[in-house]
Chains A and B, each alone.
Chain A
């Protein structure tokens, strides 16, 4: 571990003047944090935020609407027709046929196991009473996916062909993935009218980037030799693209399609807040609004969405891997297409004939599902009643010892009524001296990363995110950006923070950063050990995988009911909801990283007589560190995305402003707050990825 850090540190050799300047800056920062009353000049912000930018955005939107609405409405009318046409087809098709067709498709693509999984999943949708609503959702996805495919593919090819275009495309993709959807839903409704279309478009915006990234990656990794061979044999650029580059990139592009479809589904669900289409996401949302006594309904409908995601994911993934196998000899004998079509036609005819009976069965079985929902509700109520005291104790502990100190600092959080004693000046001095001494010792040992980590955690806990002097934050973030992502990005990061300040969102941003930091800390403490366990034991891994799948594809709203029912409306509930969603990548990447440690290294360690614990700590974890950091990067992005939903159970800050912007159709407010969130995400992403890369790259493929 230390080897990697020192090599990094020596590469960062600063001349003495720079060192002195840095030391002075750090000292000033410490002074501003420790004695804010004595040094008001160091704490006050010279920059006052204003809503002038938000107002300008609103003005711009109004102008844009006035000019382009007729044209956009024509586009919207076409899309609306497409969604409704698809909806009619799906509604008219008997559910029995869809169940059989999906099962058959799964069997053809992969085999009996996948067929059983997909068949059961679709059967659940039909029998649980949410069939029509699921089909409505599917018809929105069905229109959003080809759109996102076209846009994503086009952008990907453009980016691969032109360096200049790529320079514009990359940051655009970042924004498309990090600006919360709620920020642009309201203007989409204004521009494209009411109904399913804004949801479809929001879904396209969110789902296109993973496709573009994969197309880019695929095209860029075409071996140079192949290109040369093709140009030597005199192909036109078009021929080369079609016959050389695309086939080479196909595998990566198929990965992109898989991610695109899943992203599209998840965004269609989120967009249900605007309504306009009676889809399954709306069902979950309305059920969530009815409180814990209706948790069963929200859960049953939520499971439908999970199953929908699982079926789509497994089928597209199977299709992708099957193509790969086409070249090789497959054992299964091909069935002539004509026979297949004839078989499908017979099944269709049979299911139309049996439609009445099938529908009766579906209605009857839905009654049992309703009973199940009632049972779940009763169970949740009982659980709350019996474990109320324990739950309250957990909440109080987390609020007192973790959340409050991070938000308002130990100086304000440690009181006789909370911690049972006063944080006297003497204690504060001891605390600060310990932190500073520790930092100095680590710095002297040359462990700059550890030293700066200790210093920042120590100081943030001392004064809290809310009372962080603005310039200390600025300087700290810029330094991190410069160190891990280069000076160009440091300038960009500075400009982003300036923009957050100027639009009046600085305090909100501090709050959002605080809540996310707390959530990420908890994710690290729980997620890494779980990942390690999963890497060491196939049983644990097998238990965790479906749980992870579920947590990732269930509509985010579902997390809110148990969080509030167990812990009431407060920051801790928000934290629980965020952690549940954001912990998954950390578990997955930790497991992945540890499982891919080169076996030779493990052997060598074993030969040298390392105990399993020594091997884990000295060999495996350090080697897996880049993978774990990439997982952490995903966790950070997921946590920021979940903030928007966590507002519904007590989170404040930027995400709250985005929600208000959506409700009041105040696009300026929504967009400035949404962009601020995107900026935070982009900075965090670049810094963490830069750090992971500097530790040595390992290929991570999900």
Chain B
């Protein structure tokens, strides 16, 4: 690999000296495909395929490899996979922390995706609990959300247990009359949302955006006290004088991770990925096209790249001329 890189690097430098400033980043091993991880949800597929399309435009070979959100870090740590582009701090798996501590993977910066987590309800809940989105009103009609297992408390559908339990933590700190039930999977969360809309039955759930379901269904967030740093550090802040975190979710960061050897192998590509961003609005629109209208994902990504050709080319040439 080293020798291939050296040879190619030399060739690329020779070719590019004429057209680029002297300190241009090398392209690196353009014959070796950059393997990008494809996880389980459509938003991530889009973040990854847009990045892949940009890399291809820059002259790289890209391969998409399906990978579980947790297990992918084993592969990234060893260079079997090269980058994964949508990791959420709120549920970064333990494997990531281990691999990063061992210096096997690198956090190369945020994706620029404006994420938010919170407690969500389908719009028809406003008829069942008229005070919404106020959290006090929600607490007052907790009994309307009750199920057999949570009686007399209301039922909060929380993230699957292996993602952590942020909804439960918030509601417990605030002393809400709700019992959290872990969902088990993303599919279960969405299926419940859809069933609730179909049946007009009560539902509050921990959820996140950007997500295609929010583009497809009418929903609202419960208005909790602002999730400031003060709230998370100072117990006396907020409704519960003896607990921190008695407020909305702390902002989530979404970031990109590469294999530690990425920049040495593909210097310019490393720069492109480090500076690559995707807006939540754009991602959500593409998700609605792919999941809502059933359009082909490659066509949707190509259209996005065409519409943003100027910005994409600027990103590429900036990397090559850095």
Do they bind each other?
Answer: yes
- Write the residues of chain A forming the contact surface with B, with a CB cutoff of 8 angstroms: 185-186, 189-190, 193-195, 273-278, 282, 285-286, 288-294, 370, 374, 381, 384-385, 388-389, 392, 395-396, 399-400, 404, 415, 417-418, 560-561, 564-566, 568-571, 647-652, 656, 659-660, 662-666
Could you tell me if B147 and A570 are in contact, using CB atoms closer than 8 angstroms? yes
Chain A, Cβ-Cβ closest to B152: A417
B294 contact set on A, CB distance < 8 A: 370, 374
Chain B, Cβ-Cβ closest to A198: B71
B115 CB-CB contact with A under 8 Å: no
- Write the residues of chain B forming the contact surface with A, with a CB cutoff of 8 angstroms: 37-42, 65-75, 78, 80-81, 93-95, 98, 147-149, 151-152, 157, 160-162, 181-195, 198-201, 213, 216, 291, 294
How many residue pairs, one in A and one in B, have C-beta atoms under 8 Å apart?
Answer: 176
Could you tell me if B40 and A289 are in contact, using CB atoms closer than 8 angstroms? yes
Question: A652 to B291, alpha carbons, bound, how many Å?
Answer: 30
Could you tell me if B181 and A569 are in contact, using CB atoms closer than 8 angstroms? yes
Most buried by A among B42, B70, B189: B70
Which of A274, A370, A404, A568 is the one whose CB lies under 8 Å from B71?
Answer: A274
If over half of B's interface residues share one DSSP class (helix, strand or loop), that class is named, otherwise mixed; here it is mixed
B216 to chain A: closest CB distance in Å? 8
B294 to chain A: closest CB distance in Å? 7
Which of B65, B72, B191 is the one whose CB lies under 8 Å from A561?
Answer: B191
A134 to chain B: closest CB distance in Å? 15
Chain B, Cβ-Cβ closest to A564: B191
Could you tell me if B95 and A388 are in contact, using CB atoms closer than 8 angstroms? no
User: Can you spell out 25 A-B residue pairs with CB atoms less than 8 angstroms apart?
Assistant: A185-B71, A193-B80, A194-B81, A195-B80, A275-B39, A290-B291, A291-B194, A292-B191, A293-B216, A381-B194, A385-B198, A388-B195, A400-B148, A418-B151, A564-B188, A568-B195, A569-B189, A570-B147, A648-B184, A649-B185, A660-B161, A660-B162, A662-B70, A665-B70, A665-B93
B265 to chain A: closest CB distance in Å? 17
Could you tell me if A570 and B65 are in contact, using CB atoms closer than 8 angstroms? no
Chain B, Cβ-Cβ closest to A195: B80
Chain B, Cβ-Cβ closest to A191: B74
Which of A275, A569, A650 is the one whose CB lies under 8 Å from B65?
Answer: A275
User: Assuming A277-B66, A564-B195, A569-B192, is B148 touching A189 (CB within 8 A)?
Assistant: no
Question: A665 to B76, alpha carbons, bound, how many Å?
Answer: 14
Most buried by A among B152, B184, B291: B184
Which of B181, B186, B199 is the one whose CB lies under 8 Å from A289?
Answer: B186
A481 to chain B: closest CB distance in Å? 32
If over half of A's interface residues share one DSSP class (helix, strand or loop), that class is named, otherwise mixed; here it is helix
Most buried by A among B80, B152, B160: B160
Could you tell me if A664 and B80 are in contact, using CB atoms closer than 8 angstroms? no
User: Assuming A275-B72, A384-B198, A388-B201, is B184 touching A649 (CB within 8 A)?
Assistant: yes
B151 contact set on A, CB distance < 8 A: 415, 417-418
Which of B38, B67, B94, B162 is the one whose CB lies under 8 Å from A194?
Answer: B67
Which of A290, A399, A666 is the one whose CB lies under 8 Å from B149?
Answer: A399
Could you tell me if B187 and A289 are in contact, using CB atoms closer than 8 angstroms? yes
User: Assuming A561-B187, A570-B149, A656-B161, is B199 touching A664 (CB within 8 A)?
Assistant: no
Question: A107 to B23, alpha carbons, bound, how many Å?
Answer: 69
Besides A290-B42, A290-B187, A294-B291, 12 new A-B residue pairs in contact (Cβ under 8 A), listed by A number: A186-B70, A288-B185, A384-B195, A388-B200, A389-B199, A392-B201, A569-B182, A647-B161, A648-B187, A660-B162, A664-B70, A664-B94
Which of B39, B187, B198, B201 is the one whose CB lies under 8 Å from A564?
Answer: B187
A278 contact set on B, CB distance < 8 A: 66
B42 to chain A: closest CB distance in Å? 7
A385 contact set on B, CB distance < 8 A: 198-199
B160 contact set on A, CB distance < 8 A: 648
Could you tell me if A664 and B93 are in contact, using CB atoms closer than 8 angstroms? yes
Question: A665 to B80, alpha carbons, bound, how many Å?
Answer: 17
5 tightest A-B CB contacts, nearest first: A291-B190, A194-B75, A388-B199, A664-B94, A275-B66
Which of B157, B162, B198 is the one whose CB lies under 8 Å from A663?
Answer: B162
B194 contact set on A, CB distance < 8 A: 291-293, 381, 384, 565
Question: A660 to B95, alpha carbons, bound, how many Å?
Answer: 12
B73 contact set on A, CB distance < 8 A: 665
